[in-house]
Structures are given as C-alpha cells and as structure tokens.
Amino acid sequence: MKTEAIPVDNFLEQSHEKLVIDVRSPIEFKKGHIPGAVNIPLFDDLERAEIGTLYKAKGKEDAVMRGLEIVSPKLTNFIIESKAKTQNKGVLVYCFRGGMRSNSFGWLLNTAGLEAKIMQGGYKAYRNHVVKKFGENYKPLLLGGATGSGKTEILKQLKSEIPVIDLEGLANHKGSAFGGIGQPTQLPQQLFENSFYNVLAETDPEKYVLVEDESMSIGYNKIPYPFWLQMKQAPIIKINVPFELRVNRLVNEYGKEDVEKLKQSVKNISQQLGPNNAKDCLQWLDEGKLADVAALTLRYYDSAYEYNHTKKEKKTIIPIETDTDDPIVNAKKVKAIFTEYGKH
C-alpha cells in the first residue's frame, strides 16, 4: 500500500506544524536537507553504498532483498524514535526521489498509528522548487557602507520592523577575509540556499526587502545567481560612518580573537595589501597594535568598496551621513529612507 504523496508546496506548508523526517543516509542529509528536518536514515552510509553497488551489479530484486534484510531489525527503533520526536500524529517523510525509501518508511509509521505523508518527487523536487524560487522577481533594496559600518547590527535592529534578509547571518560569515573568525562553521551550499529560501518564502515580492550590499560570495557560500543579478540592479542606501569609529568597531569586534587566525587572514590578502603592508600588519599583531592593523586593512577594503561603486554609476545610491556607529541610531535613519522609498 502506497503512502499518500503530496506536492512540495503543500508539504512545506504542513511542515510548520508537523515533524519532518529525512530518511536518506547521513551523508546525503549532511550535504543538504529541509531546514528543521530530523534524520532517521533507513540505511547508513555504508549500507546505502552496498545496496547501490548491488543494484548495479545484480539488479533491483537483489538490491531490494538486501535492503529488507538490513532494515528489518531496525523497524521497531524507527517507530520508537519517530514517536519520541513528535507530540503530533501527523508526520511528513521524504527521501531523494519520493520512491521506495520514503514510501516504506511512511507505510511503517502509518501502520504504527502515526499519520504519515511523503513528498512527491522527494528532496530532488524540493531542490528544484528552491532553485526556481530564486528566479522569481523581487524588490531588494541594499544596505551599503564601508567595512566596519555596523551594517549587520543595523539589519538586526530592523528585523522586527521591516522586511530584512541577513545574508551574512545565513552564511555564518561577515564577508571579508576576516569574516569567518569567531563565526559558526559555514553551511554546505545547499543548506545555505535552503535556509535562504525559507526567509525568501516569507517575503512579499511586491514590497521592498532590505538586504546587505554583498559580493556574490560570502565566504564559500554563494548567493544564488538569479537573486544576485537582481541585487546588482537594486538601489543602495549607503551609510557613511566616520573612519575612526569603524576602526574602533573592528578592534572591539576582533580584539579578543585568536591572533594566529588574524594573521592567517592577513596572509590571505597579502597580495592585495602589498608585501610591505602585510608584513607590517603581521608585526603589529604580534605587538598588539590592533588599531594599526584595522586602519591599514580598512583602507584596503575602502578602496575596493569605492572601486566597486564606481562601476555602479547608473544605480540609485542614497547616502546617509552619520557621526555615530550606534546601530540603534543608524537603524532609525535607514528605516526612514526605506519607508519613504517604499512609497514610490
């Protein structure tokens, strides 16, 4: 008996209130999954590889029989674990293509008294759905400003007031060569995109959404190209924070971090800084002269930022002059312009 299969959009709508179980192998789950899903693998990585090899060598029947042999001792634990993870009888299950793995697992849970449904087309269909979403038309309004301006903190202040997408927060990276220091490990690209999709899906495409002005790459995560193209054409609210305040912000932000990690970041951009500047920075780090390091590297980033903006002459750039790096004060200034721009 086949488990009821529902379309991706219906599956995702129901996922807000129901347990979502990914029955693929741990290595598949680690590469990418629906945010919030739990992994209860039908086969572990070695078992999955064994069955795949058997399928190619001897065909489907032998692979299915071996699969049943592997799974049979696990059935009770599958039920116990699934019930332990939810107070709701409704459960959603998916595998890679919405085939035998999710159907079998769904049938088992239904037999055990849970109400399981599976996703039509599985994770593959979900990924197609996600990728297609990035190709839709949106109205990004960018928050720009030189490194150290506190743009991420401004976005956090505004998150509960206006539509905001914090790409650096999603990527666990602050964008610069130093951006990974003190941050959680970055997600695999698929997981980054899946998390981005979740935020984008809550956005009204008819209204502006505030997004930090980013290059396409944030660490090793990449903004999906169709959305990034829209960002390239978007207006920029550019906040201009005094240089000295930005230096102080970077010193406070990175001053307690591992010096060796800071040195490695300097080495990563030594070619751009120039050998003498890079050498000075490394020496200053040994001497604890963090303000000198911050000032020199900021000049490099300021130059790169301004160069990028010269290529955006035809874009609308709305400057905000400020004498503080206080994110609360600056967030109010940004919100005022965002609100006014949204009336156009």
Q: Which residues are catalytic?
A: 95
- Kind of pairing between the strands at 38-39 and 90-94: unpaired
The SS3 assignment for 304 reads helix
The SS3 assignment for 21 reads strand
Which residue is listed with tokens 């951006």?
Answer: 179
Q: Cα angle vertex 202, ends 199, 204, to 5°? A: 120
The β-bridge partners of 140 are: 209
Which residue is listed with tokens 């690209």?
Answer: 189
Please check whether residue 195 is in contact with residue 187, taking contact to mean a CB–CB distance below 8 angstroms.
yes
Please check whether residue 143 is in contact with residue 237, taking contact to mean a CB–CB distance below 8 angstroms.
yes
Residue 72 CB partners (closer than 8 Å, separation 6+) = none
Count CB neighbours of 103 within 10 A: 19
The β-bridge partners of 119 are: 6
Please check whether residue 335 is in contact with residue 320, taking contact to mean a CB–CB distance below 8 angstroms.
no
The SS3 assignment for 68 reads helix
Q: If 0-12 CB within 10 Å is exposed, 13-18 middle and 19+ buried, where does residue 183 land?
A: middle
